[in-house]
Amino acid sequence: MKYYSIVHTLIIASMISASCSGGGAPVYLDASAPVEKRVEDLLARMTLEEKVGQMNQFVGLEHIRKNEAAMSAEDLRNNTANAFYPGFTADSVAEWTRQGLVGSFLHVLTIEEANYLQSLAMESRLGIPVIFGIDAIHGNANAPDNTVYPTNIGLASSFDTDLAFRIARETAAEMRAMNMHWTFNPNVEVARDPRWGRVGETFGEDPYLVSKMGVATVEGYQGDLSSDDVLACVKHFVGGSQPINGTNGSPTDLSERTIREVFFPPFREGVRAGAMSLMTAHNELNGIPCHSNEWLMEDVLRGEWDFKGFVVSDWMDIEHIHDLHATAENLKEAFYQSIMAGMDMHMHGVYWNEYVCELVREGRIPESRIDESVRRILDIKFRLGLFEQPYADESTTMNVRLCEAHRKTALEAARKSVVLLKNEGLLPLSPEKYHRVLVTGINADDHNILGDWSADQRPENVITVLEGLRMISPETDFVFVDQGWDPRNMSENRVQRAASVANTCDLNIVVAGEYMYRGRWSERTSGEDTDRSDIALVGLQDELIKKVAASGKPTILVLISGRPLGTEWAAEHLPALLNAWEPGMYGGQAIAEILYGKVNPSAKLAVTIPRSAGQVQMIYNHKPSQYFHPYAVTPSTPLYPFGYGLSYSRYEYSDLVTDRNEIHAGDSVEVSVKVKNTGKIAGDEIVQLYIRDRYSQVTRPVKELKDFARISLEPGESRTVRFTVTPDKLEFLDKNLNPIVEPGEFILMAGPSSADRDLLKTTVTVIR
C-alpha cells in the first residue's frame, strides 16, 4: 500500500506540473470542485481512444493467465465463467491499462491485483482510475476470505428488508477493503420458471417482494455514493427469468402488459432508489436482443424512468448480437447497434476500442454520443472518490473482511432463511431421545452450502451441516455416511451402506439437493447457465431417501438448493422437511440450531414450489382461468405455496378490518389484523397482505402481495398489525396500458401465506 501511495503521489504531482496553467491544478484533480465541472474538464482533455477505452472492461490479468493456460479458443464459445483473449496476452492488457485505454476490470479477486492494476492506470497520461466490478451477489463471496451470506432467494425468504440493507452495507465495506467498487447485484428479475438455474440469485416470484428487497439492497450498497460505498447494478433488463424453455439466455416472448406489470416494477423501483448502473439481459425480448433494444434502454429506462446512471452489457452479449442472435452481420455492426440503442459499457473484449473508434471516424456514431456514456462513467468514478483514493490498504484489509459483526449478520441471515416446510411433531429434536443419528447426502458435509457465486473459502470459515450438528448437539453420536459431492455419479454401494446404517440409528437426516460449486463448472446441477428440464432430485438422491426411510426410523430431509425442487414423495412420506436454500458460511450451524430448537424457524417461501416441471408455470399470482380445467391424474395445486413456512409457535389471525368501507380513487385505507402467538415459545411471524380487484376491465391475478410485516411475539402475546393501502396498491394498467384505480370492490386478504385456506378476507369499495 505504501508503494502505491508514493507512486500515486508522484504521478499526480507530475500531472499537475505538466498541465498547470498559471500555477493552478487541473480542475478534474481538484477534489473540492463540483463533480460536474471535474467531469467536463477531464472529458475535454481526453482523446477519442481514451474515451472509448473508458467504455470497455476486461477480465483481470490473473484470470487471463489461468485460463489461457488451460483453455482453447473453442472452449470460450459457450463459457460465461472463464475468459482470455486469443492472440493477446495479459501483458497486452496491462499495457493498454498503462495507456489509459481500459475503463474497468472484472474477475479481479485479490486486493494485491486490484492495487497493481490501479497503479498501471495511474501511469496513464491523465491518471484516470479503473473501476473494479465483481459479482458480489451474497457478500463479496466470489473472492476468497470474505463473509458469505445466504443467496438472494434465502434472504428474500426472511422478508426482512432491514437485514437486506445491512448485508449490502457490510458487503460494501468488505468490497472497498479490497479495492472493489461495483457489485453486479441486485438481481431483481422476477423468477417464474424453476428450471432456470439462476432462481437462487433472485428475490423470488413476486414483483412487490422483489422490489422491496431490491430497493433495500441498492440503498445499502450505494449509501450517498461516496468513498465508503459501492455502485449497485440492477440486472438483468429484462425478461430472462421467464425463458421459453427454462434455459438462461434463451428467447423471451412476453406481452407488453406482462412486461410492465410483472417484470418492470423491480427495475423501476431500483432506479427510483438511486441505482446508478443497470445491466441488460442475455436474451432477446420479443425478437429484439436486449443489448440492442432502444425501447428498453432509451425509451423506458431513460425516457420514462429518468435513469441517470450507465448501462453495462453482460458477458460478451454485445458480440452475441452478431454471432448468436444474428441481427448484426459482423462485430462492428453489433457494437454500432448496441451503442446507438443506449449501451454505455462493454463487458468485455479486445476489439471494442478499434471498431468503435472507426465507427466514430466514419461518422456513423457521433462523438457526442460517446461523450454521453463517458460522462456517466466518469461521474461515478469521481463520486466514489477513486481519483483521491485509488488504492486499498493491504495491511488493514482483514480488519474489515470477515470481521465479527459481519459473521454475526451472516449467521442471523442463515437462521432467518431456512424454511420449515413440514413437521409432524418430530421437531425440535431432543438429544435425550435420539442418541445415534445417521447423517448422509451429497450436501451433508460439503462447502456447496455456500451456494453459487462463491469462491473457495477457508475450512475454518465454513460450517457444514455435519459440523453444525456436532457443534449444537455434542452429546449425540452422529454417524456420517458419505455420498460424495456429485449427484450425477452417486454410488449404489454408498446408498446401500446408508440404508444399512439407518437400521442401527434412532433417527436419520438426509441432506440432499443441488450442486452449485463453480470450481467444477461443467458438473454443476444448479446456478448460472445450469438449467434443467425437470426439478426432481438428480441421480440416486430419491433412492437414498426412500431406502433410508425404509428403516422405519424417523427421517428428516434437508434441502440445499438454489431452485425449488419437486420432492413430492418426501413431502408425502417423511415427518419433517426443511428447505435451507443456499445458506452461506454459517448454514450448517443455522440448520442444526433449527433442528434442535435453539432457533425457532420463521422464513417463508419467496417462490412457489411445484410438484414437478410439468406444472410450470406455477405461481401464486396467476390469472383466474389458469386452473379452470384442472390437470387430469395429478393435482393442480403446488407442493408448497408462496409465502408458506412453519414455526415451532402457532399464530392465530383474527379481526381483519378496515378503517372505512368506501374510499375515493385517490384515497388510502388502513387495514388491520390481530395476530396472537398461541404457542409455548417466542417467535417471529411474517404477516402478509394480499389484494384482488374483484371485477375489472382487464383480467387481474387472483391475489397480489401488497405489503408484509415481520413481527416478534412472546408466548400468549397479541399484536394488531396495520397496513396502509395507498392508491398505487390498487392501481393496474387499463386496456390501453395506462395506470388506473378503477371504481369497484377490492378483496383484502391477510394471513401467514398466499394459500386461500390461510387468509382472512374483507372488502373495500372504491367510488368515483
Measured from the Cβ of residue 575, the count of other Cβ atoms closer than 10 Å reads 15
Question: What's the rounded mean pLDDT across residues 610-621?
Answer: 97
Q: Which amino acid is at 133?
A: G
- Tell me phi and psi for residue 373, to 5 degrees: -65, -45
Question: What's the rounded mean pLDDT across residues 231-254?
Answer: 97
Residue 467 DSSP symbol? H
Per-residue confidence at 11, pLDDT binned at 50, 70, 90?
low
pLDDT at residue 75, rounded to an integer? 75
pLDDT at residue 14, rounded to an integer? 52
Kindly state the cell numbers that stand for 634.
395429478
Does the global pTM surpass 0.85? Answer: yes
Beta-strand relationship, 576-579 and 651-658: unpaired
pLDDT tens-digit map of 124-136: 999 999 999 999 9
Q: How far is it, in rounded angstroms, from Cα 107 to Cα 122? A: 20
pLDDT for 459 beyond 90: yes
Residue 551 near residue 502 (C-beta atoms within 8 A): yes
Q: Which amino acid is at 324?
A: L
Radius of gyration of the chain (CA): 27
Kindly state the cell numbers that stand for 174.
468488505
Q: How far is it, in rounded angstroms, from Cα 758 to Cα 760? A: 7
Q: How far is it, in rounded angstroms, from Cα 1 to Cα 119? A: 10
Q: Which amino acid is at 629?
A: H
The 3-state secondary structure of 154-172 reads HHHHCCCHHHHHHHHHHHH
pLDDT for 457 beyond 70: yes
Q: At what angle do helices 161-177 and 404-417 cross, to 10 degrees?
A: 140
Q: How far is it, in rounded angstroms, from Cα 744 to Cα 734? A: 14
pLDDT at residue 80, rounded to an integer? 73
What are the residues facing 561 on neighbouring strands? none
pLDDT tens-digit map of 332-352: 999 999 999 999 999 999 999
**In the CATH scheme, what is the homologous superfamily, with its name and number, of domain 2-399?**
Glycoside hydrolase, family 3, N-terminal domain (3.20.20.300)
Level-2 CATH architecture, domain 418-615: 3-Layer(aba) Sandwich (3.40)
- Ranges of H-type helices in 80-206: 90-98, 111-122, 152-157, 161-177
pLDDT at residue 766, rounded to an integer? 97
- Ranges of H-type helices in 394-517: 397-400, 404-417, 465-472, 492-502
pLDDT tens-digit map of 545-564: 999 999 999 999 999 999 99
pLDDT tens-digit map of 135-184: 999 999 999 999 999 999 999 999 999 999 999 999 999 999 999 999 99
Per-residue confidence at 24, pLDDT binned at 50, 70, 90?
confident
- Dihedral angle sign, alpha carbons of residues 83, 88, 91, 93: negative
Which of 195, 768, 192 is closest to 203 using CA atoms? 192
Measured from the Cβ of residue 146, the count of other Cβ atoms closer than 10 Å reads 29
Sole residue written with cell 447497434: 337
Burial class (CB in 10 A: 0-12, 13-18, 19+), 661: exposed
Least confident of 65-74, 250-259, 527-536: 65-74
pLDDT tens-digit map of 353-401: 999 999 999 999 999 999 999 999 999 999 999 999 999 999 999 999 9
pLDDT at residue 20, rounded to an integer? 43
pLDDT at residue 77, rounded to an integer? 73
Residue-averaged pLDDT of the chain: 96
Per-residue confidence at 4, pLDDT binned at 50, 70, 90?
low
CATH number of the domain located at residue range(s) 651-767 in this protein:
2.60.40.10
Question: What's the rounded mean pLDDT across residues 70-96?
Answer: 85
Q: How far is it, in rounded angstroms, from Cα 138 to Cα 221? A: 12
Q: Which amino acid is at 544?
A: L
pLDDT at residue 414, rounded to an integer? 99
pLDDT for 5 beyond 80: no
Q: First and final CA of the chain: distance in angstroms?
A: 67
Residue 293 near residue 238 (C-beta atoms within 8 A): no
pLDDT for 686 beyond 80: yes
Q: How far is it, in rounded angstroms, from Cα 693 to Cα 742? A: 9
| Peptide bond just before 406 cis, omega within 30 deg | no
Q: Do domains 418-615 and 651-767 have the same CATH topology?
A: no
Per-residue confidence at 72, pLDDT binned at 50, 70, 90?
confident
State what percent of residues in the chain have pLDDT above 90. 94
Question: What's the rounded mean pLDDT across residues 27-50?
Answer: 98
Give the start-to-end residue ranges of the domains of the chain: 2-399, 418-615, 651-767
Question: What's the rounded mean pLDDT across residues 674-702?
Answer: 97
Per-residue confidence at 21, pLDDT binned at 50, 70, 90?
very low
pLDDT at residue 588, rounded to an integer? 98
| Peptide bond just before 238 cis, omega within 30 deg | yes
Q: Which amino acid is at 41?
A: D
pLDDT tens-digit map of 727-753: 999 999 999 999 999 999 999 999 999
Question: What's the rounded mean pLDDT across residues 2-17?
Answer: 52
